[in-house]
Amino acid sequence: MAVGKREILLVAMAYYLFLLVSAGKGGGGEAEADRIIKLPGQPKVSFKHYSGYVTVNKEAGRALFYWLTEAVSHPESKPLVIWFNGGPGCSSIAFGASEEIGPFKIKKNGTGLYLNKFSWNTVANLLFIESPAGVGFSYTNTSSDFNTSGDTRTAKEALKFVIRWLDRFPHYKQREIYLTGESFAGHYVPQLAKEIMTYNSRTKFFINLKGIMVGNAVIDKYYDTLGTVDYWLSHALISDETYKQILKKCDFHKENDTDECYAAYDYADTEKGNIDIYNIYGPTCGYSIIDTITPHNHRIQRIPQRFFSISSRQISGFDPCTENYAKIYYNRPDVQKALHANTTQISYKWTTCNHILHDNWNDRAYSVLPIYKEMIAAGLRIWVFSGDADAMVPVTATKYSLAQLNLTTKTPWYPWYLNNQVLLHYYYRFTDDTN
C-alpha cells in the first residue's frame, strides 16, 4: 500500500517530538542506559541519578567513571556542578560523593546508604568524576599509564570527558557549569578551567563555564608548603626545634628535596602523632590503617591508628571510619552492577586512593596562580574556602598563596553567625584593581 503524504508527515513529526523529548529529559539511549534504577540499600529518592564511563583515549583504553545525581527539585533549572577530589590519585566517589557533598552516605560496614541532609543536590545537579584514569573505577588498558599520569594529561582528558559527556546529556549543554573540588583538585579545577577557556576561544560549541570553587586547595608550591609548616607550629603539632629544622633543611622551591629534609618531616610526623591530619580536633578511626596521601609530594604516610575510647559519633555525628565503609560498599558486586561500574573487570579492588599513581605523578605545576589571573580577567566567579582544622593543606597555606595575587580587599574579614553563634569566619572577597 502506498504511503500518503499525511502519513509521512505524521511519522516525521513523531520522530521530531521524540528528539525533543530525548534532548529535554535524558539525552537519548546512551544516557538512559546509564540511569541508575536503585543502588543496594538505597533509600527512596525523588531525583534521578546516572553513572557510567566516558572514553577519553581510545588507543590507550582510558575511560573516566562518573556519577551524576540530579537536583532534588527542578533539575532543568539548576546549574551543573562538577566535583573532583585530589591526591593526586583519590576517588571523588569515595570522598566527595560519599562523605561530603553527595546525597548518600554509607552505613556502617557498607551495609547500605542513608540520606545526607547537607547534600549539594538540593541546589544543583552534581557530577562526580574519578580522574585521572586509574583512580577509583576509572580505568586504563595501558599499565604504564600509572607511571606517566600528571597535570597536563589529566586536564586535557578532563576536557575530553566534559565535551563527550555533554554530547551524551545534551540538555546540559547550555546549562551554567561550575568546577569544584578540594586538595589537589586545586590543580585539576583551574587547569580544566583554562582548557575550557582555550577550547571556547577556538570552537563554535561553547561550554558555559561560569566559575570555580575549591577548598583547602593546593595552589602554589612555595607558599602552600610554608603555610603548612607554619600551621603545624601555630597549632602546637610540632616543636619549635623541628620547625626550625624544616626551614633549615628544606628548600620549598624544589619539587624533590634532600634526605635531610625528608628526615625532618619524618620527625615532624612523630611529633604530630596518630591524629587525623584532615581534622586535627576529631577522633580517628580506632581499628584501621589510614592511608594519607600528601599533595605536597613529600611522601605517603601509612599511619596505624590506635584505639580511642571516644565514640566516633559523639562529635556532631561525625564518623571517622567512613572511608572503610566505602571500601566495603563499592567492592560489592551488586553495587558495581547497579552503578554500571567495573565493566572491564579490572584486576585490582576498587580503593579510595591509588598510591602507585600518586607516587609516580609525572608533572605538576609549580603554581596555578597564573591561571587564577586568567580566570579573573575572563570574568569567572572564584570561591576559595578553607577548613581551619585541616593540617594537610591548611588555611594559612591558602592565605599565603592568595596574597600573591595582590588584589584589593572588597569586603574585610568578618564572623558569620547562625542562630546567634559564630559558625565561621568569612573569607576575603577580592576585586581586581583594574575593575
Q: Report the CATH fold assignment for 34-221+364-404.
A: Rossmann fold (3.40.50)
Q: How far apart are CA 391 and CA 279, in angstroms?
A: 7
Provide the β-strand partners of residue 417: 422
pLDDT per residue of the chain (435 residues) written in tens, 0 to 9: 443 433 333 333 333 333 333 333 445 688 899 999 999 999 999 999 999 999 999 999 999 999 999 999 999 999 999 999 999 999 999 999 999 999 999 999 899 999 999 999 999 999 999 999 999 999 999 999 999 999 999 999 999 999 999 999 999 999 999 999 999 999 999 999 999 999 999 988 899 999 999 999 999 999 999 999 999 999 999 999 999 999 999 999 887 778 999 999 999 999 999 999 999 998 888 744 444 565 655 443 433 333 333 333 434 467 889 999 999 999 999 999 999 999 999 889 999 999 999 999 999 999 999 999 999 999 999 999 999 999 999 999 999 999 999 999 888 888 989 889 988 777 666 666 544
Q: Where are the domains of the chain?
A: 1-25, 34-221+364-404
| All residues at 6 or more sequence positions from 202 whose CB lies less than 8 Å from its CB, including other chains | none
Judge residue 237's burial from the number of C-beta atoms within 10 Å of its C-beta, 0-12 exposed, 13-18 middle, 19 or more buried: buried
80's CB contacts (< 8 A; 6+ apart) are 124, 125, 127, 172, 175, 176, 177, 178
Residue 385 CB burial class (10 angstroms; 0-12, 13-18, ≥19): middle
Sign of the torsion formed by the C-alpha atoms of 8, 10, 16 and 21? negative
* pLDDT value for 40: 98
CB 326, CB 110: distance < 8 Å? yes
Write the secondary structure of the chain as one string of H (helix), E (strand) and C (coil): CCCCHHHHHHHHHHHHHHHHHHHHHCCCHHHHHCECCCCCCCCCCCCCEEEEEEEEECCCCEEEEEEEECCCCCHHHCCEEEEECCCCCECCHHHHHHHHCCCEEECHHHCCEEECCCCHHHCCEEEEEECCCCCCCCECCCHHHHHCCCHHHHHHHHHHHHHHHHHHCHHHCCCCEEEEEECCHHHHHHHHHHHHHHHHHHCCCCCCEEEEEEECCCCEHHHHHHHHHHHHHHCCCCCHHHHHHHHHHCCCCCCCCCHHHHHHHHHHHHHHCCCCCCCCCCCCCCCCEEEEECCCCCCEEEEECCCCCCCCCCCCCCCCCHHHHHHHHCCCHHHHHHHCCCCCCCCCCCCCECHHHHHCCCCCCCECHHHHHHHHHCCCEEEEECCCCCCCCCHHHHHHHHHCCCCEEEECCEEEEECCEEEEEECCEEECCCC
Question: Which sign, positive or negative, has the C-alpha torsion 22, 25, 28, 32?
Answer: negative
Closest CA to 69 of 86, 91, 46: 46
Q: Is the alpha carbon torsion for 397, 398, 400, 405 positive or negative?
A: positive
d(CA 236, CA 234): 6
Q: Please give the Cα distance from 349 to 153 (Å, whole number).
A: 24
User: What is the pLDDT at residue 197?
Assistant: 97
Q: Any idea which residue has 579510595 for its cell?
A: 352
Tell me which long-range contacts 423-432 makes (C-beta under 8 A, separation of at least 24). 427/384, 427/385, 427/386, 428/402, 430/402, 430/405, 431/407, 432/376, 432/377, 432/407, 432/408
Cell readout for 70 is 540530579
